Structure 1
């Protein structure tokens, strides 16, 4: 029986309002009775769990018994996977997963960068079409315009245009970077329900899913029952915010933002993914199809409560259940499918929790950028718009400033930042570009090499400033944003990379892998030639018994 989108959404999210006790630890996920099919899979499901660090997964996996447990213990799992570049944010992280390219090649250097040639508003959003600003009023016109390289969907269509490329996510930038330039369907959650940048009419299942989604938000939810393991997480009290650790992830009727910070958001993405697989009959002919799913609830919850909170504990078990329901639906359809599961970045624990572990950590002094710039402005008498961007990350000097003063400004600004104790490193454009894009084991890379993997000369800054380790670049922990990511350190770079196909042998691999290695590895599984594409990733030998070509 084919489930309609409303029924599917209701089915997949039914258990989210009343969480039972934490599942008892199990040795492995339930064994699949599906025999290993010969040849390449007909449906590839790529799942990115926003802010799922390897540390998070390994903490909770022994207590799980659902979908995340299944793929991690019955697939080939690289626990030392890496978003190897310094830019560990949503947009650059997602851009590496299906392109085989670091931001240095793809051009997606951050969620936002600066371009003084755009006019009065210099800031550029990674998934907007700058040339079409104003068409949607104050909203960006969402587009893959800035992605300079193909994704897997494009490579598939070059071989056979009948291959379908579907991307669904909680965030527009996730859907754009996974689907790339040749998406047949692309949907993300917005204030209006499901939105797209494509001109084709919405399928009926999407329209129905939007109505179901609006109804769920309007109805509200009391949240989840807190199991003992989650309740044991120590609460912390933040000044101006109150206790962190006692929220049950429900939402008041009509509160869309709190809905987005709940496991139900992931359920909505998975539900629409399953509905479109049915409606479009994906994976049912001789041409392989790809469905990319960007699950964003972990990131929203991580920002609001921190990755070591009781709220994140609730989310991890809910994610395991959500994925379990989704994979069981695929099993019931008898589909020949494979799964890649990874993350766009990890996340840094808040200083208040690190202190409980004896780790010295602090929040940023919010005056760093102002103080550093003032030292230069006063000396060189520069105009108001002489600099854009800021610590940590890219800093841009207005190219209209004459060369002599511009060079002096860059040198003085670099020196001003280096004097600050919360700055870990400062690199100039020349220092960065003198380095080749790094290769090999990402655990051995220097900070400069990690920055080089991010740096694109047409979009990156004149300076790149790195914060010290364990420094949270949020000065005041108030509102819904107390924790973050984006650094070049292990807690933000290290993510799981999992390849799963029902019936294949399980391998836990300790050797490092990089998210840019996913595309060439998947291409080998699909028997897909990537032509003469220049990639940063390499095929990971031995995944599901597939040997990479020399």
Structure 2
């Protein structure tokens, strides 16, 4: 049973208003990072874990911009920095990546193999299932889901802490429902995401006064409109137009048209609102107030949206990361002002790749958009022509394209399935854009890999995100540089999802006041985060709970894994 929400004290509401994150000029308002010299880290567990995911924040972006981070990121850089973190698996999408961050296990155990998968025999016209959808609810569709954590097979850190002590508060916020749900898990006190014109929550819960206040603040901001966001001086080198079909990317500055939520949701201002909502949640739930550790998960989604729309190497991404640096600075300053003893981990659900049009200009002529021939319907037509087999119900094949998972249609006989699979595998192996092809039977026979993720073979990467209950019958991996978009358009010019290191490598950074910093280049995994935080708060779980290992995040002789 969840503890009742405490009443919001008026001084705290006033403070939350004063620390609003919705200003367009964040970079000019945020205080600089604190000095490196601080008191020694407390021996007692922190009262609040702040788990931050920056969606599509690749290790390459981190390396490119870290010298310019001076506010929120700047503070974290004083902590334990692991620049070679890995989302080790092949399914480098939002839902699988977020599912690893606080469960400590790969997607093969979380069951979250993609943002969407197919169930060809499901009793509805759309055979696609969204990763946080309750598809048994007749009102639910992948595009308008009834949101539920039901598909997540593993407990999160918040789930385990609440099992140990129900007084733990487990809460999450993001612009994306799947990010908030995957990081918080099943046993939650508050989970919010941005839908339409404001933050919302599960169908069986009501939004609270804190949510209403933030939605009102967002509405006022959108109604008023705003000019372009400021461009830091160091962004000059990437501030130029690149042509993609009949439009350009590389020079957009995120003007906020009055009354238009679509422009608000396109850029950094929604990250600012997410940070604002996080602090309102801390106040409303009373997080970090007692000796029972709480978990606040915050996923900032806009780096992903900017990356998809404009790629990684234009002025848009430069502005986005500068604004996010300021938003993080305000978040940490607000927690400091409340006197909360908190520890932070920041990582990402996956990396990303730039638009092929710009990559072609910048020394990578092999980069290209994926061929439409690798999408499900085109593959089905080719296989049907080769074998003479058509689908007895629905389609012959589902999936393909950027996802990599291909599902055989329902109603095929055993012999037909064998024939279709063999023809499909041969067709894919002959395609010059395909690097590797595996059948479900091949993957089932393998153990989930261990060891340094940078050394994993292709099939090991695929196995780490393979779940025999949900993954495809055939899985294809495209070659390096093939971007999983067949027809780019405004708002969709670049993506992720490949098994290559530009999509797998992400930074992992830990910080707590007084902790001795360190820079550790050894390759580590996002599944190491949960056991590391568990050790920090004294949570002991049986062997085998996690796929990852505890990382000693104190650069001094102290060992945070030995607590």
What is the aligned partner in structure 1 of residue 345 from structure 2? 340
Q: Distance in 1 between matches of 2:171 and 2:183?
A: 9
- Secondary structure of the equivalent of 1:427? strand
1:278 Cα deviation from its structure 2 partner: 1.7
- Secondary structure of the equivalent of 2:199? strand
- 1:142-541 map, 5 Å: 142-197=147-202, 199-359=204-364, 360-369=366-375, 370-378=377-385, 379-383=387-391, 385-392=395-402, 393-531=404-542, 534-541=545-552
Segment of structure 1 superposing worse, 214-223 or 110-119? 214-223
1:59 Cα deviation from its structure 2 partner: 1.2
Residues 53 and 346 of structure 1 are in contact (CA less than 8 Å); yes or no, is this contact kept in structure 2? yes
1:70 Cα deviation from its structure 2 partner: 0.9
Which of 91, 112, 119 is equivalent to 2:116? 112
1:38 Cα deviation from its structure 2 partner: 2.2
What is the aligned partner in structure 2 of residue 41 from structure 1? 46
Shift of the 454–252 alpha-carbon distance from structure 1 to 2, 3 Å rule, reads same
Aligned residues: 546
- 1:5-154 map, 5 Å: 8=16, 11-13=19-21, 15-17=23-25, 30-31=35-36, 33=38, 35-72=40-77, 74-119=78-123, 120-134=125-139, 139-154=144-159
Residues 303 and 317 of structure 2 are in contact (CA less than 8 Å); yes or no, is this contact kept in structure 1? yes
Q: Distance in 2 between matches of 1:44 and 1:524?
A: 12
1:3 Cα deviation from its structure 2 partner: 5.9
Q: Distance in 2 between matches of 1:365 and 1:40?
A: 52
Segment of structure 1 superposing worse, 310-319 or 387-396? 387-396
1:34 Cα deviation from its structure 2 partner: 5.4
Shift of the 446–189 alpha-carbon distance from structure 1 to 2, 3 Å rule, reads same
Residues 158 and 185 of structure 2 are in contact (CA less than 8 Å); yes or no, is this contact kept in structure 1? yes
Residues 241 and 477 of structure 1 are in contact (CA less than 8 Å); yes or no, is this contact kept in structure 2? no
Residues 250 and 313 of structure 2 are in contact (CA less than 8 Å); yes or no, is this contact kept in structure 1? no
Residues 524 and 546 of structure 1 are in contact (CA less than 8 Å); yes or no, is this contact kept in structure 2? no
Q: TM-score, normalised by structure 1?
A: 0.94
- Secondary structure of the equivalent of 2:151? coil
Q: TM-score, normalised by structure 2?
A: 0.92
Q: Distance in 1 between matches of 2:23 and 2:317?
A: 17
What is the aligned partner in structure 2 of residue 548 from structure 1? 561
Shift of the 512–5 alpha-carbon distance from structure 1 to 2, 3 Å rule, reads farther
What is the aligned partner in structure 1 of residue 3 from structure 2? none
Q: Distance in 2 between matches of 1:130 and 1:9?
A: 39
RMSD: 2.3
Q: Distance in 2 between matches of 1:272 and 1:22?
A: 17
Residues 21 and 330 of structure 2 are in contact (CA less than 8 Å); yes or no, is this contact kept in structure 1? no
1:237 Cα deviation from its structure 2 partner: 2.9
Superposed CA offset, 1:53-91 (max 9, x none):
11111211112210111102x110100000000011110
Residues 6 and 208 of structure 1 are in contact (CA less than 8 Å); yes or no, is this contact kept in structure 2? no
Shift of the 485–531 alpha-carbon distance from structure 1 to 2, 3 Å rule, reads same
Shift of the 88–10 alpha-carbon distance from structure 1 to 2, 3 Å rule, reads farther
Residues 104 and 456 of structure 1 are in contact (CA less than 8 Å); yes or no, is this contact kept in structure 2? yes
Segment of structure 1 superposing worse, 257-266 or 340-349? 257-266
1:200 Cα deviation from its structure 2 partner: 4.0
Shift of the 343–385 alpha-carbon distance from structure 1 to 2, 3 Å rule, reads same
Shift of the 3–186 alpha-carbon distance from structure 1 to 2, 3 Å rule, reads farther
